[in-house]
Chains A and B, each alone.
Chain A
């Protein structure tokens, strides 16, 4: 792996997780405020993540196993915020039913 590619790959991996954080933050804010605009921004953040992951898979010299892991992680990042949110709503509703 050449010096430039190394640096670019590493930064892309960091950017992927940063985009995931932005997606989670915006998704949560969109659900709280019931805002379509924020949900659109959340989707844009995820699209950025997906593009970044695609770049990592297609254009870097990482081994195939790591590329598969990156692709699987990108898919997992898509599901974590909605699943977590549903779980939170479910548990808090459940708590309300008991009080």
Chain B
């Protein structure tokens, strides 16, 4: 295997490892809601939550990078430019994530000084990592961009998918720089912070996963380049058309001018439209190929991506995106429900699909099948749907009792938190979280052991006749 593919497997393995950390810290965060005394004095809820959302960003980012390093040599017929730097940075990246996680758990916070910003944490959700680590992430992104763009330049040719990916590297690197400034005015800080969170996630990441899934579809189903590139261009147009100004839905109620209510509501409401086309495409592919492929887990995870994105991003988002309704639902567990489902559908399923594609080739498997992946698929998806359903119930209770009836007073907040429907949602979320956790364990074992049993059987000497 090429150096790039070896690096890809390392990145995908690290992604699955941090997926586990995310799941564990998510389960811990869920416990605080049903037992507020949990780890009292040892680990605050905010730290567990920080670990949960930061490792979510990291594992998906590593998954994307692994996927890109996997497909790069196939696209250009050569090793990526600067592969040595990428190989070196991989270990530094993993070590830095582990050190930051240790700082979060054991140091947790510090006084409001520059030293804290540099060494402990920056205190901005999703990008809490201390500055030294944030500089490291920026460096990793820069080398990643060099690997992609530099390879195209060195190969003196570029495919449509790689052209889109190369252009996408510019905002991917630049937008991350918003993680650095320290802005004292909270409204101004949030205004720019959402550029990083929303535009990274709903613009550059959408395009990146679109490119990755385009390459995966060619590999998995043998779909022609012309078709996947045609769809990719449509997706890019849709993302640019709806996703960028959809940013406005995060600008509700944070001190921005009123016109953002109209802009955010309008463009967010358009976001489900392209996702409907994706559902039709998934049905077409599944039907034309009669669900037959040499890699069933990868194919099923691809289908889960299409449907999960539609339901999590489209349906769950549309319920709360119009400003008149968002006024009540903003920042409740309803939003959390939408966030979990949308991230799972839009990104996680795609990364898991690529994991199976890479392992099939790495382990020389003619077919990938068995029952392990089915258990993982069912447990993870049922657990996730159960979790988001529970969060939806809890969020509706909050929006109804605390906001719409109680008028968002402190008393109403407490009443909302103690409401039986809210508590039912929290208990139920934890139960389904355990199911999701069990799914993760099965997935990890399945990925580790994929093809090993077949190889062991093949290597076993035949009995003498």
Report which A residues bind B (CB closer than 8 A).
1-3, 6-7, 9-11, 13-14, 16-18, 20-21, 24-25, 27-29, 32-33, 61-63, 65-66, 69-70, 73, 76-77, 80-81, 84-85, 88, 91-92, 94-95, 98-99
Contact = CB atoms under 8 A, between A and B. Distances in A.
B322 interface: yes
17 contacts: A3-B404, A6-B404, A10-B319, A13-B318, A14-B319, A17-B272, A21-B315, A24-B280, A24-B283, A27-B280, A28-B287, A66-B269, A70-B269, A77-B273, A77-B276, A80-B273, A94-B226
A99 B280 CA distance: 24
B351 interface: no
A20 B314 CA distance: 10
B266 interface: yes
B284 A85 contact: yes
Contacts of A16: 318
Contacts of B322: 13, 62, 66
Nearest to B326: A10
**Among B272, B280, B325, B400, residue most surrounded by chain A Cβ atoms (within 10 Å):** B280
Interface string B256-288: 000000100110011011001101110110011
Contact of A91 (B230, B270, B396, B405): B230
B324 interface: yes
Contacts of A1: 324-325, 404
Contacts of A62: 322, 324
B405 A3 contact: yes
Contact of B288 (A10, A17, A70, A92): A92
Interface string B108-146: 000000000000000000000000000000000000000
A10 B334 CA distance: 11
B284 A10 contact: no
A95 B226 contact: yes
A14 B329 CA distance: 14
B400 A7 contact: yes
A17 B320 CA distance: 12
A39 B404 CA distance: 41
Interface in B395-414: 396, 399-400, 404-405
Contacts of B224: 95, 98-99
Contacts of B315: 14, 17-18, 21
A33 B287 CA distance: 9
Contacts of A70: 269
A62 B327 CA distance: 13
B310 interface: yes
Nearest to A18: B315
Contacts of B265: 66, 69
A91 B227 contact: yes
B280 A69 contact: no
Nearest to B228: A91
A88 B315 CA distance: 24
A84 B262 contact: no
B328 interface: yes
B230 A6 contact: no
Contact of A6 (B227, B272, B318, B325): B325
B232 interface: no
B311 interface: yes
A1 B399 CA distance: 13
A6 B328 contact: yes
A25 B266 CA distance: 26
A88 B284 contact: yes
A45 to B, nearest CB: 12
Contact of A28 (B283, B310, B314, B400): B283
Given A80-B273, A92-B227, A65 B400 contact: no
A84 B226 contact: no
Contacts of A84: 276-277, 280-281
Nearest to B266: A69
A14 B273 CA distance: 13
Contacts of B422: none
A80 B280 contact: yes
Interface string B28-52: 0000000000000000000000000
A42 to B, nearest CB: 11
A73 B273 contact: yes
B280 A28 contact: yes
A87 to B, nearest CB: 8
Nearest to B401: A3
Contacts of A94: 226
Contacts of B288: 32, 92
A80 B226 contact: no
Contact of B276 (A13, A33, A81): A81
B356 interface: no
A92 B315 CA distance: 29
Given A6-B399, A13-B322, A65 B276 contact: no
A77 B318 CA distance: 14
**Among A10, A29, A95, A99, residue most surrounded by chain B Cβ atoms (within 10 Å):** A10
Nearest to A66: B322
Given A28-B287, A73-B272, 6 more contacts: A10-B319, A11-B319, A13-B325, A16-B318, A73-B270, A91-B230
